[in-house]
A and B are shown apart, each in its own frame.
Chain A
Amino acid sequence: MTLIEVKDLHKSFGSLEVLRGINCNIDEKEVVVVIGPSGSGKSTFLRCLNLLEVPTRGEVIIDGTSLTDSRTNINAVRQEVGMVFQRFNLFPHKTVLENITLAPIKVRHLPETEAEKLARELLARVGLSDKAGAYPEQLSGGQQQRVAIARALAMRPKIMLFDEPTSALDPEMVGEVLAVMKDLARDGMTMVVVTHEMGFAREVGDRVLFMDEGLILEEGTPAQLFNNCQNPRTRAFLSKIL
């Protein structure tokens, strides 16, 4: 079943055209990895999927709901689409537990005890049960990113978006975050992941999209793309990072 439909998506910032006609369908439980040079529009593409950026033209349909339709309640759609940012963006004035329970309580109207129970389950899942009472600044980057993943999961989203989740991390912490993401993928979460971690793409990616200058230039299974890509631009990019 198709969960995300993107049709002829365009996005401009002023006169700068960042996305120039993206088309792609993403199925339920699919893990799609987006790669491409810096500035090619990967983040912008991802942010159009939960309307952090408003498309200039084209359509994004999430689970049957068109985001670009003015009647759509965008806050309702966002509850179904979790996002993990490069810079974590945890709420510094709240404890780890409060970071995770805030949205379920205020947005989903979950009773506090239930939200807390859920949060503790998720913390166990990302291996941070002992950090519930800590403040974000007391955690390492890898720990903060795992909390950010738990925070997004607490809304029970249907889709998870990851924008270079390990790029801001020290190398020794990349593994712990990727492990959580792999676990999530195995569990059947629909994921769109912008990353330079090719090992991750190979291992859990169902499909890899190569973006350049606002377009998807090539796509395929990780094996197809990494071992036998057709486009010279893809080859040039891969030769630089592999």
Chain B
Amino acid sequence: MGLVIQSLPYLLLGAVQTLKITLVAVSLGCILGLVAGMGRLSRRRLTSFLATCYVDFFRGTPLLVQIFIVYYGFPQLLDEGQKFLMASLGMPQLLQTTHIPVFVAATLATSLNSGAYVAEIFRAGIQSIERGQVEAARSLGMTEGQTMRYIVLPQAFKRVIPPLGNEFIAMLKDTSLLSVIGYVELTRQGQLISGATFKPLQIYFGVALIYLIMTFTISRLVDYLERRLKTGDLDRS
């Protein structure tokens, strides 16, 4: 127990990193997800096809593999891409890309992954708005865009808060996978301390407890937000 308390500052430092990367991933994921979610609903075939490919790929493959592709695969892609470009221009290669920063890779992989899940959340949210709402707006002369912006999305946003909360919690736990590329978040920090102290049971139990506290708090927060929104007054768009 004393050991856990001693290492607590380090673990908390890791927890802050975990929260940080989760926040970044889900925020960027929301932007990507809104685009991809509306893309899936687009009447333009190509748009909806591309959006579907994106969503299917990132939901249908393990996040760990996605992390490897980004962290180990992208530098190779950049390097060979540049080689090819320079060769076709008849110039020598300027610089060799051997790696990308861990934080960049972590952000990229988790955001792309989160975006795919958020896209499905937004798509379902948009589709859950009754047709009558759209018809009423269109019958008043609003364009498709105005109808989306003033009628559909504000109502959909309320409905997606609980599933978005779940996505945040899922992503918070999944960021532990980033430890494998050396991103120092909570799990990685636990690994380091456990390696130095040879007390894996206590340390990992402490790590688990901190995850639990974070997920529990967030889930309560989402519940509260959901209740506030139900009464309709947190709206003011």
Chains A and B bind each other: yes
Partner of B140, one of A93, A137, A152: A152
* 0/1 interface trace, chain B 125-140, chain A, CB 8 Å (1 if under): 0000010110111111
B residues in contact with A83, CB < 8 Å: 135-136, 139
Contact assessment for B132 and A103 in the assembled complex, using a CB-CB cutoff below 8 Å: no
Instruction: Choose among B140, B150, B151, B158 the residue with the greatest number of A CB atoms under 10 Å from its CB.
Output: B140
Determine how close the nearest CB of chain A comes to the CB of B161; give it in whole angstroms. 13
18 contacts between A and B (CB under 8 A): A79-B141, A83-B135, A83-B136, A85-B135, A87-B132, A89-B135, A91-B136, A93-B154, A93-B155, A93-B158, A93-B235, A102-B140, A103-B141, A103-B142, A106-B150, A107-B141, A135-B232, A137-B232
Determine how close the nearest CB of chain A comes to the CB of B130; give it in whole angstroms. 8
A residues in contact with B130, CB < 8 Å: 89
Q: How large is the interface on A (under 10, 10 to 19, 20 to 34, 35 or more residues)?
A: 20 to 34
Bound-state Cα–Cα, A93 to B78, Å:
48
**Quick check: is A78 within 8 A (CB to CB) of the other chain?**
yes
B residues in contact with A76, CB < 8 Å: 141
Kindly list 18 other residue pairs between chains A and B, CB separation below 8 angstroms, not including A78-B141, A85-B136, A89-B132: A50-B139, A75-B138, A82-B139, A83-B135, A85-B132, A85-B135, A91-B133, A91-B155, A92-B232, A93-B232, A103-B141, A107-B140, A107-B142, A108-B141, A137-B232, A151-B140, A152-B140, A155-B140
Contact assessment for A79 and B154 in the assembled complex, using a CB-CB cutoff below 8 Å: no
Scan residues 101-138 of chain A and give those whose CB is less than 8 A from a CB of chain B. 102-103, 106-108, 135, 137
Bound-state Cα–Cα, A92 to B235, Å:
11
Nearest A residue to B151 by beta-carbon distance? Answer: A91
Nearest B residue to A86 by beta-carbon distance? Answer: B132
A residues in contact with B141, CB < 8 Å: 75-76, 78-79, 103, 107-108, 155
Determine how close the nearest CB of chain B comes to the CB of A175; give it in whole angstroms. 24
Nearest B residue to A138 by beta-carbon distance? Answer: B232
Bound-state Cα–Cα, A135 to B237, Å:
14
Contact assessment for A89 and B150 in the assembled complex, using a CB-CB cutoff below 8 Å: no
**Quick check: is B97 within 8 A (CB to CB) of the other chain?**
no
Bound-state Cα–Cα, A12 to B132, Å:
21
**Quick check: is A24 within 8 A (CB to CB) of the other chain?**
no
Contact assessment for B138 and A89 in the assembled complex, using a CB-CB cutoff below 8 Å: no
* 0/1 interface trace, chain A 230-241, chain B, CB 8 Å (1 if under): 000000000000
Bound-state Cα–Cα, A191 to B130, Å:
26
**Quick check: is A52 within 8 A (CB to CB) of the other chain?**
yes
Partner of B237, one of A92, A93, A106, A107: A93
Determine how close the nearest CB of chain A comes to the CB of B76; give it in whole angstroms. 49
Q: Which residues of A contact B (CB under 8 A)?
A: 50, 52, 75-76, 78-79, 81-83, 85, 87, 89-93, 102-103, 106-108, 135, 137, 148, 151-152, 155
Nearest B residue to A77 by beta-carbon distance? Answer: B141
Contact assessment for A52 and B237 in the assembled complex, using a CB-CB cutoff below 8 Å: no
Scan residues 54-82 of chain B and give those whose CB is less than 8 A from a CB of chain A. none
Bound-state Cα–Cα, A108 to B138, Å:
14
Nearest A residue to B141 by beta-carbon distance? Answer: A79
Contact assessment for A103 and B155 in the assembled complex, using a CB-CB cutoff below 8 Å: no
**Quick check: is B143 within 8 A (CB to CB) of the other chain?**
yes
A residues in contact with B137, CB < 8 Å: 91, 103
Contact assessment for A78 and B146 in the assembled complex, using a CB-CB cutoff below 8 Å: no
Bound-state Cα–Cα, A83 to B134, Å:
13
Bound-state Cα–Cα, A50 to B140, Å:
10
Bound-state Cα–Cα, A50 to B232, Å:
31
Q: A93-B154, A93-B155, A151-B140 are in contact. Are A106 and B135 (CB under 8 A)?
A: no
Contact assessment for A75 and B142 in the assembled complex, using a CB-CB cutoff below 8 Å: yes
Nearest A residue to B154 by beta-carbon distance? Answer: A93
B residues in contact with A108, CB < 8 Å: 141
Nearest A residue to B231 by beta-carbon distance? Answer: A135
A residues in contact with B138, CB < 8 Å: 52, 75, 78
